Structure 1
Amino acid sequence: MTDEIFTTADALEASILPCARVVHSDPNMPATAEQQPLPAAVSKKPVDQKSPAEWAYERLILYIRNFEGQLDTKHEIAMGFAGGDAGVLRIEGLGYFDPDMITFYGRDDDGAKTQLVQHVTQLNVMLRAIPRAEPDTPPRRIGFRLAKDWDEPPAPGRDSAV
């Protein structure tokens, strides 16, 4: 027996996590992350065996990769902050720390190193397309780097690829 309290709300949330749905007013809208099949590496481990941080991290990667796939070469992905004047973070990295923390690494509008550590229950992310910081270099696509190990066998121990 475990000392963990599992509420009705927890049970309800756990029962709907693997589900996804989206409806757009434009029938020609490009496919969204909710409409894509989960990569095999993501669906291999049942959702009820993942921490809230791991499951949030994996879905964020899907959203980031899908968003970046729709950007032209003049733009990169950034993240806006809801409910404050913190500005925008140009996403350079994403991580999680079980059981419930998500971390965003990047730079703000002025190029200052920035890190956001957020509890999964407070997760509220707005993805934004912003002009590239260095227009003469190819765009950096973090979503595809984040997902690269989904097609490779996992390394033993803590993952530190990003």
Structure 2
Amino acid sequence: MDNDIATSAEAHEADALPRRYDALPDGEQEDRPDHVTAKPAKQKSPAEWAYERLILYIQNFEETLDSEHEVAMGFAGGEAGVLRIEGMGFFDPDIVTFYGRDPVGGKTQLIQHVSQLSVLLRAMPKMVKEAKPNRIGFRLRQSLEKTTQDAPEA
């Protein structure tokens, strides 16, 4: 028999466990232990707040782009360069992750603590001239909304 009623200890434990959410580039999957995808906490972590607001910034930025450009992010300092954003995620309580490609198509991932978060959105020419531009802001927002709707109520 399936018991949906949690004891107070189970509820507190679920709130304390880290949560992680990733919207990865199309076709990619990542396995992770069950405890990493625990029930949602009552309060949003700094990582989740940053993730949700970044989605809005990306969507708004993409609305200003023509059909020949896609969103990418530049890095301050060092030789890291540019990442063409294909996916984004967070790992509670304080990590935000960006998935994508560098300008020559190499797979790239940036893992950043929210206290160090500084994102420079850039317009980059599409990699494939014939294809429609990749607009990830809308896809990320849909994924977030679906996850929020599917989340079990505490």
1:155 aligns with 2:154: no
Corresponding residue for 2:121?
127
Corresponding residue for 2:28?
none
TM superposition shift of 1:149: 3.9
Corresponding residue for 1:59?
53
Match of 2:75 among 81, 84, 87: 81
Question: Partners in 2 of 1:103 and 1:150 — Cα distance?
Answer: 15
1:146 aligns with 2:144: no
1:38-59 residue CA offsets vs partner (Å, 9 max, x unmatched): xxxxxxxxxx921000000000
Match of 1:104 among 95, 98, 110: 98
Cα RMSD of the aligned pairs, angstroms, is 1.6
> Which 5+ residue runs of structure 2 have no aligned equivalent?
1-41
Question: Partners in 1 of 2:112 and 2:61 — Cα distance?
Answer: 21
Distance 1:143 1:87, change over 3 A: same
Larger RCO (CA within 8 A; separation ≥ 6): 2
SS in 1 for 2:149: coil
With normalisation by structure 2, the TM-score equals 0.67
Query: Matched residue pairs, number?
Result: 110
Q: Which amino acid aligns with 1:155?
A: D
* Identity within the alignment, %: 65
Q: Which amino acid aligns with 1:107?
A: R
SS in 2 for 1:154: helix
1:7-61 residue CA offsets vs partner (Å, 9 max, x unmatched): xxxxxxxxxxxxxxxxxxxxxxxxxxxxxxxxxxxxxxxxx92100000000000
Runs of 4+ in 1 over 4 A off after TM superposition: 150-153
> Which 5+ residue runs of structure 1 have no aligned equivalent?
1-47, 158-162
